[in-house]
Amino acid sequence: MSTRNARRGQTAVLFTLAIVPLFGVLGLVIDIGWAYYRKEAAQTAADAAAGAAALAAYNAASAGAPTCSMTGVSCDSTGYDCPSTLTTASNNVQSGCLYAMDNGFTTAGKQRVTILSGTGTPPTASGASVAYWVEVKVTERVPQLFSAVLGFPNALVAARATTGTRVTSAGGCVIALNPGASGTITMTGGATLTTGCGVFDNSNAADALTVNGTPGTPAITTTGTAKTDVVGGVQGSTSNISPAARTGRPVMSDPFADMDPPTWSGCTNTGVSGGSHDVLSLPGSTTVPTVICGDLSLGSQSSLALGPGLYIVTGNISLGAQTTMTGSGVTFYLPNGGANMSGGAHVTLSAPDSGTWQGILFYQRRGNTTGSSLVGQDNQQLNGVLYFPSAQLTYNGGSSAVATNTTLVSDTLRLVGNSSIAAAAPTSYTGVTGGVSVIE
């Protein structure tokens, strides 16, 4: 009996000795989990503050490049500590402070929110090219419960976010959005592109921009302050880009992400089809969309004159050889199909210069991966935004004699023939006028 009691006593001792480290491990897990949760909260506050401060600077500059001398724009490379109490913002940095405060963080007690800002290259990303940058640092000393017994009363959590504003010269009017494809922008044959508003390739692939052609023959020429910017690298005849492409650039988000698709009900036409040499016209409407439930198809040497308005084509747009399409103040929305022009098509189209669809010529639904080919005569004119965010676009934009105000935005882009773009298309959306980009 005494032996059994002794064993019971040993078990009690061993259990008592084991329970202490078990509770310690459990407490450590709880403390680490709580610290991780607070770090995520701090990161949310940093992201919100950085975005708000950069956007406020961008707006203060009237969608241009902010400078340190502008009213409402602050530059402080050493850091501004957000005050513990703040109700209204006198500049863009304080706007960031208010957003951090809304997310539960300010400079008080165990928390600290510091905002650095300035023009030129941000300190956290030496390769970034932005007009104005904002860096937000958020820290908090989180009290520990169980770990305090081991001599660690607090855990330090930290978060950081950097944003920047872009203007036209830092982005472009020729933009390929795919983040990782090879040849996201591809120049085929002897294709040339001259643009006064820049080229941007979002792919991080080593061959993101592929240039084919005879070495020494300019394939891409940007003029004025415009540049050719690539997230990844350039393959092929790199000397054919003048001035030289800038690689390793920060990612650009979709510049028309704020553009909602149109809504409609019913059909105006159950397809539009023209045979050889047919002469067609659609009056259009500036108040309600013209809804073509099916294809818009033109046979060889036929013509179509479009009145101003929004045209929703639920099928495909197809232009045969030597066809003619003209229209001023028109917008095409493609929810399911694409647009294809045969070589030799005579196309002169311009987007509306006011209203909801100002500047938008082609709008393919996001998620629609149907490829499009806008390849017509050398003197074709497509003035406006050609927005194909999820699909490949093949483009030939005409000669320098008819340089257009055009913006190309596609998932991937193939340039054929000789294209000349004088300036980006002015729109009522963010577009290439600029905006805020996350750098880090």
> pLDDT by residue (tens digit) across 52-105?
999 899 888 876 678 899 999 999 999 999 999 999 999 999 999 999 999 999
56 and 161 assigned to the same domain: yes
Output the pLDDT for position 425: 85
214 and 255 assigned to the same domain: yes
| Structural domain contains residue 8 | no
- 264-to-63, 220, 347, 366 alpha-carbon distances in Å: 32, 40, 27, 17
291 and 378 assigned to the same domain: yes
Mean pLDDT calculated for residue range 317-322? 91
Query: What is the Cα–Cα distance from 415 to 307, expressed in whole angstroms?
Result: 29
Asked whether residue 110 carries a pLDDT value surpassing 60, the answer given is yes
* Contact yes or no for 73/66 (Cβ under 8 A): yes
| Structural domain contains residue 62 | yes
Confidence of residue 432 (pLDDT cuts 50, 70, 90): very low
Average pLDDT value over all residues in the chain: 86
| Structural domain contains residue 12 | no
407 and 351 assigned to the same domain: yes
Confidence of residue 419 (pLDDT cuts 50, 70, 90): confident
Q: Which residue has the higher pLDDT, 146 or 294?
A: 294
Asked whether residue 429 carries a pLDDT value surpassing 80, the answer given is no
Confidence of residue 128 (pLDDT cuts 50, 70, 90): low
Least confident of 37-46, 269-278, 355-364: 269-278
Output the pLDDT for position 168: 46
| Structural domain contains residue 320 | yes
92 and 191 assigned to the same domain: no
Mean pLDDT calculated for residue range 241-262? 86
pLDDT digits (tens, 9 = 90+) for 261-287: 999 999 999 989 988 889 999 999 999
**Two tokens at 94?**
């304080």
Q: Biggest alpha carbon distance in the chain?
A: 114
31 and 91 assigned to the same domain: yes
- Give me the number of domains the chain comprises: 2
For residue 265, the enclosing domain spans 170-438
160 and 213 assigned to the same domain: no
Output the pLDDT for position 22: 61
Asked whether residue 433 carries a pLDDT value surpassing 50, the answer given is no
225 and 89 assigned to the same domain: no
162 and 176 assigned to the same domain: no
HSE, side-chain direction, 13 A CA sphere, residue 113: 33
Of 114, 139, 166, the residue that ends a domain is 166
| Structural domain contains residue 5 | no
127 and 265 assigned to the same domain: no
Confidence of residue 122 (pLDDT cuts 50, 70, 90): confident
53 and 196 assigned to the same domain: no
Query: What is the Cα–Cα distance from 348 to 322, expressed in whole angstroms?
Result: 13
Query: What is the Cα–Cα distance from 427 to 433, expressed in whole angstroms?
Result: 9
395 and 311 assigned to the same domain: yes
| Structural domain contains residue 9 | no
The long-range contacts involving 324-332, CB below 8 angstroms and separated by at least 24 positions, are 325/298, 325/349, 327/284, 329/286, 329/353, 330/284, 330/306, 330/361, 331/357, 331/360, 331/361, 331/362, 331/363, 331/384, 332/361, 332/362, 332/363
Query: What is the Cα–Cα distance from 391 to 400, expressed in whole angstroms?
Result: 27
Of 144, 166, 188, the residue that ends a domain is 166
* Contact yes or no for 289/262 (Cβ under 8 A): yes
What percent of the chain has a predicted confidence (pLDDT) above 70? 85
